[in-house]
Structures are given as structure tokens and as C-alpha cells.
Structure 1
Amino acid sequence: RALGVAAGPARRRARRPPPLPPTWTSPRRGSGTCTAARPPPPTSRASATHPIGLCPQPSRSTEQTTAEESIRMGNILNLMRGTGDDQFEPWPLLGFRAISGQARWKAIHQKVIANGRFQLLSMAICIAASERIHGRPIYKKGIPGGRFTLFSILTCGLVSDYICHRLTSGKGIPSDPFESLPEDVLCTILSKLPLDEAVRTSAVSRKWRFLWTVCPNLSFEGITMCGKEQDVQKFIDNVNAVLAQCHGSVFDELAIKFDFDTMLVDHLNNWARFVVSSRIKFLTFDLAPENFGGRYERYLFPFQLLDSGSTSRLQKIHLSFGYLQPPTGFSGFPNLRKLDLNLVNVTGKDLQDMLSNCCNLEWLSIIRCHLYDELKVNGPLPHLLYLHFSFCEITKIALHAVKLTNFVYKGKSVCIDLGKSSRLESADISFYGVTLEDAATQLANVFTHVQFLTFDTSYEPPQVC
């Protein structure tokens, strides 16, 4: 009766009650009685005793129980949302408290509320409370602060109890947000990180301890690992420690970037052996110091440590501050696509022989490499697209590259013969020590098909006494 429902004997057959006559009025706050020509339909004894349906129920199927619970929850939520302003006091608080108590019991003790259903229930409760609050603006009649605080406390208490139970139970909330990701996806993510940051992920968990070792790229940079002071021994120890854990794995790239020191020679040779065993495709030995003037000792590239399998796998080589002395009969790099040489001592003949056996070369850059001779490649380079020469002591450039699209030359005026390069799109030429007229006459028959030509010369006229 406190809820305004007249209890009566249960009927065997439920019938839809007829519409109430106009003389029936809903109970109002402050009135102790209600006038009705016909009372509402009676409820069962259990529901009259426990109006919110919290009494123990006999065992039923899961589907039936879930359906009945959904109906009860929906009725109470509708009651919370639809009760008139004058009846706000008991109904929302009692209904909300009942729902939170039942949900807490189901979630923690009976463990029948799944994560998705629990979240849906929480959102439904919050929506009901929110709509109730918006339906009764604070600036008009207002919801007392204590009652509004009670709504918040009940909601937060329900959610926190469920989360705490998940944390303390055997199936707690996973601490690793990437646990469900496949290993190949994790490796792809780690491959985008610098090597030092990828190695730090080994401290996340046991699963992540060696996960970084399957990343395809290994890049060691002195400034990143040792700072500006470039501690040689520290760099060597760090690289050896990492490569020791990667023994037996297959990688795509190995990059060593450190100012050359004679202490590095033996270790560089060992790292070249790692290139062979790990089937490396992209190799970088960037050893050029910031101040290289007056330094003549350089690293001799270890051709003798490379077998036929490794030479055929290499697709990119970047060597700076070294020597290139290919052995007699060297068959070259048949699948090499990119060759970048900087501050490398090599003779014109050795470079010619090596390039003649690189038929798949697409990108060639030679900077500050003093050949003191002409560069004439006997074999065709049918895939070469980019060619760059800068500040090289060279007397002539002659090669056959029919697909060449970009050509860059900076240095002394030399004879350039690019064969039938009919696809040349861009040419950037900078001569020094020659007048513009002489340079234009020299190159008149070279770039006949070029689309964009940038030409620059510098010449100091002789002084007249």
C-alpha cells in the first residue's frame, strides 16, 4: 500500500484490466487515501511483499531468467524516467538503489552479468538518472544536492565494486592492453620505433622480453646510444649485447652509424658476419666523422666475409669513410638496387667492374669519392633511375642508362655521356672553373631530351696586371 498498489489474491488467469473510470485518481504526495471505482490488478504475494522483485526465485532457464530480469529493469527505469514531479522523492531513489543492489549481487556473486551486459546496464541507469535530472532543471525547482550526490555515489559504488572484483578474481582485467593483438601486429608496431626504444619494451612482461628481437630492422646510432661524446667501448658493448640476443634470427636491415675509430675494425668485421648469418638485405656502415679532414685511416669493406648467398640478397649498401677493393673475379651484387658511397677510396677500374655486375641497380650516389680517372660502365644499367655525382675527382662519366630520369652533378667540368637517356626528366648541373659559354657548348648534345634543366657555373676571370 505504501507504493499505491492494492494487494489481493492471485488470479489463475491473467486478464488485461479494463480502462479505469474517470473517478480514479493517482495518489498524490500528502494524501493518505486514493479514490478508485476499480482497484488496479492484484499482484502475486511475492511481488506484493517484494515490490522490486528481489525475492529468491525458483530455478529457471537462463533465457527465461534473463528475459524477466530485463522486463523488471526496464519497468523500473521507465518508472524512474516517467514519474511526475510530485512523486520524485521515493521512486527514483528506491528504484535506483534496487537496481544497483541487484546488479552488484549478480556481477560479483552469481557472475552472470557479462562485461557487455554490465556496461549496458550502467549506461541505462546513468541515462535514466540524466533524463530525470534534465526533466527537472536545477534552476527551476531543483534537485536537492544530497539526493543528486546519492545518485552519483550509487553509480560509482556499483562500478567500482565490479572493477575491484575483476581485479582480484582469477580473470582480472588484463594489465596488458595489447594482449589480444597477434604477434605479427605487435612486431609491426615495434618495427616503427627506434631500436633503443624497442629494446626497452622487454621490461613490460615476460611475453615482451624477446619480442623486439623479431623486428625486421636493427639500427645503432652513436649519438642516440652514447650521446655526443661517442664512447667507443660503450657503443661496442651495446651493439654486441643486442646482436648476441638476436643470434639465429632473420632481419632485413642492419645500420651502424658511428664515427670511425680503429677500435671498431674487428667488431665491424664480426657485424659483417652477422649480415651473412641473419640474411640481411639492407646494410649501412656510416662511419664518416664530423671532422674528417687529415684523417687517412678508413674501414676496408670485407668482401672476403661475404658468400654468394649474402651478395645476392643485398639490395642496398651505404658505405661512408671506407675502402672498396673488390677481389679479382668478384661477381658483383646481382640484386643490388641502391648504392650510396660517401668519402670512399676506390679506383675507377674497381668501381667499373663492380657496377658492370649490378644489372638491377636503380639508385646510385657517389659523393667525395676521388677516382682520379674516368668512370666508364661497360655493361648496361637498364633499371637505373637516379644518378648523383658530387665533388668527385673524376675525368669522364660514360654509362648507358635508358630509363634514367634524374641526374645530378656538382664539381669540375667533365665530359658527360649518358647514352640514349630519352626519359630524362630533371638535370641539375653545377660546374665550377668554367665559363657559361664553354659549359653550354660542352653540354649542348648531352641533355637533348631533358624536361627541366638547372644549370649553374662559377668562374673567376684572370686578374689583369
Structure 2
Amino acid sequence: MGLQNLMRFMHMQRQRDQQRRRQDPPIGLIASRAKRKGSPCQQDDDSQNDQLEIQSGPTLPEDIWHHIRSLMPMRDSARVACVSRAFLHSWRCHPNLTFSYTTFGLNTKAYGKDELAGVFYGKVDHILQRHSGIGVKKLKIQTGSHYSAKDSYYLNSWLQIAVTPGIEELTLMLCTMKAKYNFPYTLLSNGSGDSIQYLHLSSCSFHPTDALGPLRSLTRLHLNLVHITGDELGCFLSRSFALERLEVRYCDRIVCLKVPCLLQRLCYLEVFGCGRLKVINNEAPNLTSFQFEGDTTVQLSFGETLQMKKLNMYRSGAVFYARAELPSSMPNLEALTVSSRSEVAYAPILHSKFLHLKYLSISLNGAPFSPAYDYLSLASFLDAAPILESFHLDVFQRFMENVSIFASPSELRCIQGGHHHKLKRVRINGFCSAKSLVELTCHVLQHVMSLEYLTLEAPQSSWKCSEPENKSGKCFPMVRDILMEAQSAVLAIREYIEPKVPSTVKLRVLEPCSCHDLDSEFELYVFLDGP
């Protein structure tokens, strides 16, 4: 319900109440007072002004107030409370509490760092100290980067008020790289653990022990920049029988992450940037989606993976690993995304197949690969995925070490393979004039009978002026060598690829914006790369 509609509804209800009171004022007065005495949300310091409160808001049953309140954002609830005492009392039982600089409309440029933190903490404390502590379903606290010793006192006090039996979602984001605040896990042992469904902790310490009770309702756990060891996390997971999603990001104290087999409902696991991590041992039998970013030394052990449908992997050597290992270890994959900044070997040609794979995305970008990567070897993925429908390849590199098609215009290599009858969309970002990339594209055109769309995007170093996100309408300058390679890429497309495109395929070539030219970029090139 929008704020304007609510105000209009309250005005109409007030008019009806006034008409009813003129007809029979004693009954209306007695009934209204009786309802207020029975509601803990409507008792406060202003209770002596009963007559004024009756005439300043509509007389609605308490359950209707609760429903209206639950549909409104906290900020709108506060605004309505300014014009309706009845809603003011009800707002003090608001179920969804979100506290951040944005919520309060605080302009970070208008305050000093310490002053801004003081204003924020003062507002949150003012609200929670007056909140009944009853009926809180969602609590989100997002502070600034400033942290001092007094913050622990405030945070503990707020959590004690709001985290009560019945709470379903708790988000604590301290927005600092230093995890100085120790989250009191005992809050989850007083009955709150029975109802909480979503727990998100960021930039704090969390050290659960065996004293923690079962978390029967917890379905999603998100830890970001949290100081917690692998054993402590394992202890917490052993009490989270209903867990469905586990997200662990940048938790550098975890060396071994063990997911116990008792997590029968766990279907999504995400592990990103845990610098000391050495082992991931998953025993959850029904995991269907896994996202991982980390070092090549991390040992991955998944046990039974027949249910795995989606895999995103970001680490060096990921492309070779995906082709060599995944068809046998995860035979039922339907979507695969791999990203690598370094490959020591090309994608091997094997007999193993991705029999269920429909979506494939490969990213080979960043620093130059040494030796220069043979993009034609990626045809092995296409031949191994007979029902693949979409293929996305990103190969942008700052400096290209591959042999250009113009430096070696001899006959293009061909790889023998069967025809593909399901692949419809192919997109290559960072398309360059590398001969092996031209050969891969020609392989697609020759062997994919079902192809409908082929999109080739020349190297870009910035947004185009036509991009909707670029509100300035201007292009940022491109580095000279990137612009030169982009022009070579377009020429290679026109000369070697476009003539081979069947009439049934729609070719789309994304060139650098027309506002770029070599003369206008020369000054930037000198500034960035030297003469």
C-alpha cells in the first residue's frame, strides 16, 4: 500500500469515525479505550491523551494495523507516524527494521566522520529503545566504516532488543575490513535460533561453540569478511539441519571447509576469496549449484555429485580442469562457467562428454597468456556437449601475444568433428585478430548446423557513449594499442569470417564507438604507456 493511498484511506476512515461518534459517542469512546488497553503496542508516555488519540486516527482493529504496517517500508511508516498517533503506537511494533545511512537519508558529505557515526547511532538507538521488541521479523543493520569501542555496546544493546523468538532474518553489515566486533552467538540460543531463517554477518568475529542449540529453521547463511575457523563453522553447520544455501566470502581463517552429510537440503554452496583455504570437502548429497573462486592449490572433494547442475569456477587452470575432470566427476552439469587468468595447457581432446550441458561460458582474460593460448582447442568443449544451446567466450587481453591472422595468412587449420544440431547462440567478447580465434569461429560456422546468432565484439576498454549506464553520453578514451587491435579485429571479421556466414545466421559485429580514432587517442597513449 503506497503512502498516498494510505493517507487517503485514513482520511476516509476518520470521517466515518467522526460521523459514528456524533451519533453515539459514549459507545465509541469506551470501545476505543478498551482496545488501547489490550494492546502493548499502544501504551507509551502519551497514553494520558486518550481523547486526543481517539480523534487523531481511525479506529481499526489491531490486526489490520499490523497488516498495514507489514506492507510498508520502515521509512514510510515513520512518516505516517508523524500525522497519526494511532499509527505511531503501531509503528513501535514494526516487523521489518532496516537501519543504514540511506534509510535515514543521511548525506555523508554534510558531516564529519565521527559526527556522521554519532548521528547514525543516535537515531538507531532512539528507535530501538522505544520499540516494544515484539513482532520483529527482519532486522538489518548496516553501519559505516568507522568503528570504535562504544559501537560494541550499542550493537549488543540493539541485538538484545530485536533478536527475540520469532525473528526470521538478521543482517549485520559493519562495512569495515577489520572484524573487531564479536557477534554474540548466544543470542541464537534463547529460542531465537528456532525461528531464524536467514543470517548474514559481515566484517565481524563469530565463534560458535557446542553450547549453541539447534537452528531448526535456518535455510540461508551468508558470511563475508568474518573471523571464523573451519572447526567453528563446522560446529555451526552441524546444528543447521534445514540449511539450503551457504555463502562464504573472504573468511581468511578457514583452512578446511567441511560440509557435513547431514545437510540433506543444501543445494547451493558459494566459496569466494578465502585466502588460507586449502581443502573443500563436501559431503552434502543434494548439492546442485557450486560457485568457487580461489587458488589452484585448493583441493576440491565433492563425493557424490550426481545432482550438480550448475558450476561457476574462477581460478587459474580452470579451463583445462573443466574439460579434463568435470565430464566424469559431474556428469549431469547443465550450466558451466569457468574463468581463468592463466592456463599451462590447452583444452584436451577427449572422448568424455557433457551430455546434459546447455550453457557454457569461458573467460580467458587479464595478463597475456604464456605461451599464447590456442583458442581452437576450445572446440573440444563444443564437440563434447551435444545439446549445448548457448556458448559465451571472453578473451580480452591487454597485450596480445597470439599470432595475428594478418601475420600468418596461410590456410586455416580445421578440426574434424561431428555436426552440432542444438547450439543456437555464440558470442565472443574481446574478439581479436588472433589466427587461432579466427579458426575457432570458422569451426563454429562449419560444424554448427543450428546456429542462429553470432555476436563478435571487438576489444573495448571503456563504456561506449551509447551504453544506457553511461549517462554522460561521452566515451572514455581508449588506449592506443587496444584501439589498433580493435580495428584489426573488425578487418579480420570482414575478410575471413563474414564471407562464411550462412544466410540463416544473424551476424552482429560490435565495433569501437565511432568517436574513437587513432589521432584523438595518441595523447592518452603517450601518457599511459610512454613514447
CA contact (8 A) 1:415 1:442 kept: no
Q: Does 1:255 align with 2:137?
A: no
Structure 1: 5+ residue runs without aligned partners? 1-162
The yes-or-no answer on 1:398 pairing with 2:281 is yes
| Secondary structure of the structure 1 residue equivalent to 2:330 | coil
CA separation in 2, counterparts of 1:357 and 1:278?
A: 17
Q: TM-score, normalised by structure 1?
A: 0.56
Question: How far apart are residue 248 of structure 1 and its match?
Answer: 4.4
Deviation (angstroms), 1:305:
4.4
Between the aligned partners of 2:84 and 2:205, the Cα distance in structure 1 is: 44
- Give the equivalent residue in structure 2 for 1:154: none
SS of corresponding position for 1:224: coil
CA distance in 1, matches of 2:230, 2:335: 30
Provide closer, same or farther for how the CA distance between residues 245 and 236 of structure 1 changes in structure 2, counting only shifts above 3 A: same
Cα distance change of structure 1 residues 425 and 309 upon mapping to structure 2, 3 Å threshold? same
Question: Partners in 2 of 1:348 and 1:325 — Cα distance?
Answer: 10
Q: Alignment partner for residue 224 of structure 2, among 320, 327, 342?
A: 342
- Matched-pair contact (CA < 8 Å) for 2:186–2:212: no
In the alignment, structure 1 residue 423 sits paired with structure 2 residue 307:
yes
Give the letter for the 1:280 counterpart: I
Task: Note if contact 1:417-1:446 (Cα within 8 Å) is conserved in structure 2.
Answer: no
Q: Hey, what does 2:235 align to over in structure 1?
A: 353
- In structure 2, C-alpha distance between the alignment counterparts of 1:381 and 1:429, rounded to whole Å: 22
Matched residues in 1 for 2:117 and 2:269: separation?
35
Q: CA offset at residue 191 of structure 1?
A: 2.5
Q: Which residue of 91, 95, 101 maps to 1:212? A: 91
Aligned length: 292
Distance 1:438 1:206 in 2: 64
Q: Which SS does the other structure have where 1:422 is aligned? A: coil
Task: Please give the residue correspondences for 1:39-438 in structure 2 after superposition, counting only pairs within 5 Å.
Answer: 170=22, 179=58, 182-225=61-104, 226-228=106-108, 229=111, 231-260=116-145, 261-262=147-148, 263-277=150-164, 279-289=166-176, 292=177, 296-331=178-213, 333-393=215-275, 394-413=277-296, 414-432=298-316, 434=317, 436-438=319-321
Asked if 2 retains the 8 angstrom alpha-carbon contact of 1:317 and 1:339, the reply is yes
User: Runs of 5+ in structure 2 lacking a partner?
Assistant: 1-14, 24-53, 343-366, 373-531
Question: Is the contact between residue 356 and residue 379 of structure 1 (CA under 8 Å) also seen in structure 2?
Answer: no
Partners of 1:208 and 1:454 in 2: CA distance: 50
Instruction: State the Cα deviation string for residues 123-153 of structure 1 (Å, max 9, x = none).
Output: xxxxxxxxxxxxxxxxxxxxxxxxxxxxxxx
DSSP 3-state at the match of 1:419: coil
- TM-score of the pair, normalised by structure 2: 0.49
Q: Distance in 2 between matches of 1:278 and 1:308?
A: 7
1:268 CA drift (Å): 0.6
- CA apart distance, 1:213: 2.3
Higher Cα Rg, which structure: 1
CA distance in 2, matches of 1:373, 1:192: 43
1:365 Cα offset (Å): 0.8
After superposition, the Cα gap between the structure-2 partners of 1:223 and 1:189, relative to the gap in structure 1 and judged at 3 Å, is same
Instruction: Describe the shift of the 1:297–1:345 C-alpha distance in structure 2 as closer, same or farther (beyond 3 A).
Output: closer
Q: What is the CA distance between 1:284 and its match in structure 2?
A: 0.9
Superposition map of 1:16-31 within 5 A: none
Q: Is the 8 A contact 1:313 1:335 kept in 2?
A: yes
SS at match of 1:222: coil
What letter corresponds to residue 227 of structure 1 in structure 2? Answer: N
Separation in 2, partners of 1:194, 1:271: 20
Contact 1:195 1:220 in 2 (8 A): no
Separation (CA, whole Å) in 2 of partners of 1:406 and 1:328: 29
1:350 match: secondary structure: helix
Q: Given residue 282 of structure 2, which amino acid in structure 1 is its aligned partner?
A: L
Paired AA for residue 420 in structure 1: E
Q: CA deviation at 1:306?
A: 4.2
- Residue 207 of structure 1 deviates from its aligned partner by 1.8
RMSD: 3.2
Code of the aligned partner of 1:426:
K
C-alpha displacement at 1:347, in angstroms?
Answer: 1.2
Aligned equivalents of 2:258, 2:311: Cα separation in 1: 20
- In the alignment, is the contact (CA less than 8 A) between 2:92 and 2:132 conserved in 1? no
